Structure formats: C-alpha cells, structure tokens
Chains A and B, each alone.
Chain A
Amino acid sequence: MSHLYLEITKLKKNYGLKPVLRGVNLAIEQGQRVALLGANGAGKTTLLRILAGLAEPDGGQVCIDGLDSVHDAQQIRRLVGFVAHQPYLYDDLTVMENLLFFGRMYVVKQRKERAMMLLERVGLLKRAHERASVLSRGQAQRLALARALLHSPRLLLLDEPDTGLDEEGIALLEAILNEHAGDGGTVLFTTHQLEHALQWSDHIALLSGGRMASMRETRDVEAGSVRQAYQEALR
C-alpha cells in the first residue's frame, strides 16, 4: 500500500503585499510522478522553492515523509533533489569538482564513485575534467540533473527541467524520472510542454491564481482537455 509522501495544506506565500500562493492543497503518494502546470506567475516556482526549503511559507503546512518543512528543514533537505530551470553551476570548477563539492555538502559516501557513475549516466564522463563554464546549456542541465541525484533523494523537484535539453537529453530526463519513480521515489515537476507533462507524469495538477485548480490522473485526461484547461488558466 502506498503512503502519502508529500502533503501540502492551505499553503500561502506573499511577496510583499502580493499574494502568490493563496491556500494551495496538494497530496502526492510515494512513487507518483506529478506534473505541475500553470501560467507564468501562477506560483509554480514559489511552490517548489518552499518544498525545497529555500523559502518559508506565510501560512499553511508542508509535510514531506511526515516531516514538517519549517521545523525539520535540515532533514527534509536530505530527502529532496532539486533541479531548477537554470543549471546554477560553479563555472570555475570542473564538472567532477562540482559534483564532488556537492557530494561533500550532502555527506555522500564514496562520492567519487557515485559522481563517476552519474556522469556516465548523463553522458558527461568524458568531460569530467573540463570546466563547467565550457559546457553547452543542455550539458550544464544534464550536470545539474546528476547533481540533484547525487545524494539519492527520495523526492525529486524539477522546475522546467526540459529547458535547454536536446532530444537525447529529453529522453534521458524521461528515463531518469521513470527510474526514480520505479525505485519508489516521488517526482514533482513543472513544465510548459504539455506533451512532456502527459508523457512523464501519472498525475497532472493545474495551478491557477495561486490555487490548485485541479489534480487528475494523466490516463483519465485527454491532451485536448488539458490544453483547454491550461489555456483557460493563462487567461
């Protein structure tokens, strides 16, 4: 029996006087892959930042694996792997040094072996000793993906991870998401590519105006209806 891995209750977040999240509710079970859709400014990135522990909510509660996001922030950080829409790498460090540094931060055992294995997985092993600054946008995004997997997180949060990836990179990303969910991991990702949302997820959630407008199983929805709901959310 699967258990509730991520539970968001009445989550609120304001930037100054502007409310961004106005009481978001969301429940995700272990092993689920959820695509979070929404227009620009709907609050997707803010929601992911709160889940990753980068921002504190102004109201409501987030529980990840039974841990409270505010009180147990350090423990939650060990459970979460985060990929942003930008790679955010240390340009002056090599590909391998980037991974080894974050391996130390997450206290990863046998980090060099783990880093090499992940570099091979994302197709960057041959470039391990080149500086991150010389990588193309897509290669940097692959490295960011490897970094997010370094500490074997149970929850993967991905904010538009398909940005800048070529076809091969997109296929790699899909395979990694499937593997992660297959191993019992949970995935929450945002994307503006509806095809990717339909292909990679088993649930689709729609965030609109700072509230969760809908959450449905992907197999129950048709591409046309998702597109229509998405277009309505954009208006």
Chain B
Amino acid sequence: MIFFEQTLAILWKDIRCELRSKQTWMGMGMFALLVLVIFNFAFDLRVDNKAAIAPGALWVAFVFASLLGLGRTITAEREKGLMDRLLLCPVDRKAIYLAKLLGNLLFIGVVEVVALPVFAGLFDVPLFGALLPIVLLGTLGVAAIGTLFSAMAAATQARELLLPVLVFPLIVPVVISAVRATGDLMVAAPNQPPWLGLMVAFDVIFLSASMLTFEFVIKE
C-alpha cells in the first residue's frame, strides 16, 4: 500500500511541476508536429504508397518526441540534486521507476493525442479504434526502456548524446512491430506475424527487467 502511495506521490509531484513549468510537454508536442509536417512535405504521398510511409512517419515522430521528454524527466532532477533528495527517502526504488514511467507515459500520451489528429489530417488517413492498443503498447515499450536508460545517461556528462545511442538499438523490435501493425490497419496484408503479441512480449520482458535493474542504475 505504501509502495503505491509513494508511487502516486512522485507521479503527482512530477505532473504538478510539469504543469507549472510546461518545459517538457511543449517541447515534445512541437517537435512531434514539426516531424509530421516535414515528412508530409518530404515524401510523395500517393494512395498506393501511403501505407508504406505514413506509419513510419508517425512512429518516427512519436519516438523522437518521446526521447526529448525521456531525457528531461530524470536528468533535470539529477542536475538539480533533487534525485539525491528522493533517494535519501525510504522509498522502494521500484516505486521511483514506476512513477517516472507513468509520468513519461502520460507526457508522451498527451503528445500523441495532439499529434494523431494532425497526422490523420496531413496524411489523409482515417484514425482507427484499433490504433489505440498499438499506440499504447508501442509507447509503453519505448517508455519502459527510455526511463531506465535516461536514469543511466543522467549520471554521465554526455547524457544528451548517450540516451539515443543506448535506447534506439533496444527499441528497434517494438518500433518495427508498431510500424507494421499500424500499416496493417491501413492496408491489410496476409500472413503477417502477430505484431501485437510481439509488442506485449517485448513490453513484459523490458518492463520487468527495467524494474529489477533500476535500483542498481540509480545508485552512486
């Protein structure tokens, strides 16, 4: 019970700080919208190649915007010495990880809610209800790994450079699955692997591994 109370308290604190500073959400949102606009002008979007390009553009926007936010959540706290203050408290480190993960999911989720209608309008694709589980599972995978590695990168000097270098190779499977699953919604292809199942497996494995290793990553 105390575990969840502390998790929610950290989450509440992060949300309140972000609502007042507006640093992360605004940056992520603007970035995602810009990526979508640039992709829209950069590619020749005919009806026959839309399904090949649009899902990739959507997920590139989500992943890059997510990394901007992921890089901020723990780094800002560490730079100001506030992560040490949190670590001084008798709080289960898994609670800190879970709160940071939920916060990141929420921040990325808000950006996605704003970006999806823009994506649908620019690329002239309908928004399917079935896109929701794909976005949820894909975002969870990116956030699970990103939260862990942002804690790791925050302790280094080249943190802005290190975070994408560490995260991108690991999220390749979930991003490919998300892109393919999104593409299948636009043009159904026969004999496709179970992309959603792959994302679920990826999320379970990396969420568990991240929860267990966060304690070792965060300590001095």
The interface of chain A, by Cβ under 8 A from chain B, is 49, 52-56, 74-75, 77-78, 80, 82, 84, 86, 88-93, 97, 101-102, 104-107, 131
Contacts and interface: CB of A to CB of B under 8 A. Distances in A.
Residue among B12, B13, B20 having the largest count of chain A Cβ atoms under 10 Å: B13
A90 B90 contact: no
A54 B220 contact: yes
Contacts of A104: 5-6, 9
A89 B121 CA distance: 43
B8 to A, nearest CB: 9
What's the dominant secondary structure at chain B's contact region? helix
A91 B21 CA distance: 10
B82 interface: yes
Contacts of B87: 53-54
A93 B81 contact: no
B88 A90 contact: no
Given A84-B81, A101-B9, A52 B17 contact: no
Contact of B17 (A49, A90, A102): A90
17 contacts: A53-B87, A54-B220, A56-B220, A75-B90, A77-B88, A84-B81, A86-B81, A92-B16, A93-B13, A97-B13, A101-B13, A102-B89, A105-B86, A105-B89, A106-B90, A107-B2, A107-B90
Instruction: Kindly state the interface size class of chain B when it binds its partner.
Output: 20 to 34
A131 B84 CA distance: 21
B85 interface: yes
Nearest to A13: B220
Contacts of B82: 88-90
A177 B39 CA distance: 62
A105 B17 contact: no
Nearest to B96: A105
A74 B2 CA distance: 14
Given A56-B219, A104-B5, A107-B6, 8 more contacts: A54-B84, A78-B90, A91-B80, A92-B16, A97-B13, A97-B16, A102-B85, A105-B10
